[in-house]
A and B are shown apart, each in its own frame.
Chain A
Amino acid sequence: MSTITYLLLQIVMIILLAPLVNGVIGKIKALTQKRTGAPVLQMYFDLHKLMQKSAVVSDVSSWIFRVTPYIVFGTAVVAAMLVPVSVRILPDSIPGDMIMLFYILALGRFFICLAALDTGSAFGGMGSSREVMISSLIEPSVIVVIFTLGLISKSTSVFIIMETMAQRGSSFIGPVTILLFLAMLMILIAETSRIPIDDPATHLELTMVHEAMILEYSGRHLALMEFGAVIKQMMLMTLMVNIFLPLESFVTVAGFPGVALSLLIYLGKMLVLTVIIALIEVNTVKVRFFSIPNLAALSFILAFLGFMQYFVLGRS
């Protein structure tokens, strides 16, 4: 499959569908609270409206504040290009390294944290400082998950990891994958600022992390920041479902129908993961800020046990 088709498919599946995930999560939360809730497509309406509005920019801020939304959006899109929605369609001219994936996201994070400090607001500094702590504590767990998956597949390339996991067929469920899945789920929650690490729905200074950093943004800048955040979320979720639930390997049809079927399966898997995230949000509360190290440690321990299970005990 040519690179152009791959890129187009990525754009359609990840970028255009990304706001939908938030809509579905919102709807599930509303339904569990016996509310009707906002329409599933609400985020699209919001983004459309924000893009038409003019931006309010702080007089203290510098060019860093103004370029950050573009860098955040750009890096999220580039990262999304490295995570294929289906192993049926892999590009041959894009190198997709899992470590690089996270370091590309780090560029976006670096600039968000700087922009938060740029306006001279205490909220921004608070968010920035907290974000740095959370990301540094979760990073060891990320690298252990990447290395363990990489060692199973002899490479840290996203494509090769996904293919190897798909070739394992029905044995994709095992102690190692379950442990790594749970570790990855916590990484996903931390990276996407969701409950119990952060609460995307709050604007209370005591608790907010990601929202505090983008507090000063408005108009199209805000649209890009929020769009970038959901693309990153979609990308990480895609990474998870395609590595830990390689169901499209059961599709036996070849050619175009096979691809279409695997995309349908992909959407189904994404729905399942979305429901899991929504249920976690409904059933837990945001933890105290200084309990986050415990969650990060838990994630690291799960990842480490997964590693030990496979490489020291030699059982998959």
Chain B
Amino acid sequence: MGMFESDSLLCLTIIIYMTAALVALVFSGQQRISILLTQGLCMLAGLSGAASALVFLLSKEEAFHLNLFSSPIPFLSVDIAFDGLAAFFLLVLSMLVFCVSLYSIGYLSHYIGNRNVCAYQILYVLFILSMLLVFVAGNGILFFMAWEAMAIVSYFLVVFESENPETRKAGLIYIVMTNVSAALVLVALMLMYQYTGSFDLSHSAEQIPGNIKNVMFVLFLIGFGTKGGIAPLHVWLPRAHPAAPGPISALMSGIMIKTAIYGLLRFLLDYLGAGHAWWGYVLLALGIFSAVMGVLYAFISKNIKRMLAHSSVENMGILFIGVGIVLVSAAGGAKEVAALALMATLLHCFFHAIYKGSLFLSVGSIHFATHTKNMEELGGLIKRMPVTAVLCLGGALSIAAIVPFSGFVSEWLMYQSIFSSFVLGQAGLNILLIITAAALAMAAALSAGSMIKLYGISFLGRPRSSFAESAVEVPKAMNAGIGILVSLSLLFGLFPRIAVNLLNGIVSDLLGVPIKDQLTGNVLLVSFPLHINQNAISPALALGLCVVVVLLTLLFLRGIGGKYSQRIYGTWDCGFKALTPRMQYSGRAFSKPIKIVFRMFIKSTRELKLVGDAVYHPESIEYNVKTESALEKNVYLPFIRGVSALSEKLKFMIQTGSVHAYLLYIFAAVLVLMLYNRVN
């Protein structure tokens, strides 16, 4: 165990996190120092975690096990299993933690004096630590405990600004949904123990009969799907993510929901071994549904954080599509296609964590500077927060999958893996695949549209309120944190081979075949960085060409029209001479056409109130539009009403409040257990 090997670095990382929590507790009196020390230690832990993962991935080490702590109680031991998949997710987590902690140094300054910074920071560190343990857990019990800890700690972080009733409600929905998810995962893990006699994740799953595997698939799907916010189980996500403080939403959307993808890959692909093709079909269908629904709701949101949360639902849908193709093609024997799809999925996971993190931090900055999340009160921030504006544009271009940012690379590989899966050649699958491609294309276009809305309404034009008018640039540490993420997105967009080479080992570990040779190689500056299906893209070349064209154009214009001269004048107002910020296009108006086209899925109710006697000359007009999800209205609400009506009735039958009845229940339960043991 050398100093710079991944196992010692991993232990070091865990120790630094624990120290950080301790430091936050010790310095709870001096908030400023505590923020600097704790967040600084988290940055250090992020570096060491990333180093541990990078050392593992680059040196192609063998997977290893570490037993950090074993107790006399059966199964209760800290068993760590570190393989390529764990290393990859640890890398994503650590990179994000580094940037988010840097950002937090600035962000937390507005908590000083009015909030419990100590509690926040301890929860923050525990949240990161629990996610880390989810990724490296070597047995089912540790995995489940970390999973549950992650859920509970994140609940407290979601409701941290608990004076707002919306936030408390969001927290309640979150904790209910996330516990349903945990319960299902627990049942699946118990089935796993029942048939293999072990919670060890490296244990062979051969003894599990086929139909039990199917049951486990359904349990894992719903369990992980709920945590990942896949539609129709996503209702908590667009509520909880906007309610949480900026750095926490970045971590939740960036990496916490990806634990679902980790779980699916770990249990379905690695542990159960990619069973039937229908698993893939189910994932594909759910993915399509999520991608389209997520992006539609993102497009119509006017709360900037909620828009990003809905967009996370969309991206989880894209990831589900990726995992679906992996399962379908692995079951169909097309291992090379599965490898390509797995690479696309992992890259999308990686890049989405980077740019979604940067976007959540950017809108956190907007909230920090203007104290509002409502787009209709923003505007003109590009002049007041110029650095944030540039960084947010980078994030927006990445998520809109636009060349030359990283979003495009994973999107393109996703298209190419769908394209490659046509080799499986089943008519039904072909139709599903072409619909997937079409849905992905529409989701990408609408996602670009929602980013245009987010950026155009909040950063451009005139300020729509006094908050926006008086906004000032945020502290440098915040912009530095976002800046690193945006630069990474650009770097991987221009030179995607860096990421592909890094992840190649994981793909070959999981599927037994490496990614095609055309995609790998150690060259940084090859002309065709991504080359697949006799076809290639080179974002760097396209960008270079574009720059050359623009420079030549500038020269040409100078030759033909002389030096550039401009006249600053008011916006065209048809001679009206009194344009106000309220006359600008609003966010709601911007998304109105899409809302009308997709009115089937988006129900809105309008209220128009005229004040005054005269119908034609009212004194004032009140206009209110409420948009609600058709899904929540037609499925969730009736279900919740049913459950509460049922428990209302049961109150008088089972849960009467009488101690005698409860003693009887306990007695009956013991009796049944004894009988069960006797029979067995």
Contacts and interface: CB of A to CB of B under 8 A. Distances in A.
A120 B594 contact: no
A136 B452 CA distance: 13
A262 B597 CA distance: 44
Given A113-B456, A132-B449, A64 B382 contact: yes
Q: Of B439, B541, B564, B590, which is in contact with the most chain A CB atoms at under 10 Å from its CB? A: B590
Contact of B567 (A56, A103, A220): A56
A90 interface: no
B569 A129 contact: no
Contact of A142 (B416, B441, B557, B566): B441
B434 A304 contact: yes
A99 B534 CA distance: 14
Contact of A120 (B418, B438, B536, B581): B581
Contacts of B579: 120-121
Nearest to A141: B438
A110 B419 contact: no
Interface in A275-309: 289-290, 293, 300, 304, 307-308
A76 B88 CA distance: 38
Task: Label chain B's interface by main secondary structure.
Answer: helix
Interface in B501-534: 527-528, 531, 533-534
A44 interface: no
A75 B527 CA distance: 19
B236 to A, nearest CB: 27
Contact of A113 (B383, B401, B452, B528): B452
Interface in B587-643: 589-594, 596-597
B415 to A, nearest CB: 5
B441 A156 contact: no
B646 to A, nearest CB: 43
B567 A136 contact: no
A53 B567 CA distance: 11
B402 A107 contact: yes
B553 A119 contact: no
Interface string A201-221: 000000000000001100110
A308 to B, nearest CB: 8
A78 B545 contact: yes
A100 B597 contact: no
B460 A62 contact: yes
Interface string A110-134: 1001101111111111101110110
A52 interface: yes
A120 B461 contact: yes
Contacts of B379: 120
A249 interface: no
Contacts, number: 258
Contacts of A132: 445-446, 448-449, 452-453, 590, 593-594
B585 A117 contact: yes
Contacts of B589: 125, 129
Given A60-B461, A81-B545, A97-B537, A117 B572 contact: no
B400 A106 contact: yes
Contacts of B460: 61-62, 64, 114, 117-118, 120
Contacts of B571: 58-61, 119-121, 216
B176 interface: no
A126 B566 CA distance: 26
Contacts of A73: 549-550, 553
Nearest to B390: A63
Given A56-B566, A130-B593, A70 B550 contact: yes
Contacts of B554: 70
B22 to A, nearest CB: 46
B597 A59 contact: no
A120 B464 CA distance: 10
B288 to A, nearest CB: 12
Contacts of A107: 397, 402-403
Contact of B402 (A94, A103, A224, A307): A103
B197 to A, nearest CB: 47
A99 B415 contact: yes
Given A100-B408, A129-B592, 15 more contacts: A81-B545, A95-B531, A95-B541, A114-B455, A117-B461, A120-B379, A130-B593, A132-B445, A132-B453, A140-B439, A144-B438, A154-B533, A304-B438, A307-B434, A311-B430
29 contacts: A53-B561, A55-B566, A55-B567, A56-B566, A56-B569, A58-B571, A60-B462, A70-B550, A71-B550, A97-B536, A99-B415, A100-B542, A103-B401, A103-B402, A103-B412, A104-B542, A106-B445, A107-B397, A118-B460, A119-B461, A121-B572, A125-B586, A129-B591, A132-B453, A132-B594, A135-B449, A143-B415, A155-B534, A157-B534
The 3 A-B residue pairs whose C-beta atoms are closest, nearest first, are A125-B585, A117-B456, A95-B536
Interface of A: 48, 51-64, 70-71, 73-75, 77-78, 81, 93-95, 97, 99-100, 103-104, 106-107, 109-110, 113-114, 116-126, 128-130, 132-133, 135-137, 139-144, 147, 150-151, 154-157, 160, 215-216, 219-220, 224, 289-290, 293, 300, 304, 307-308, 311-312
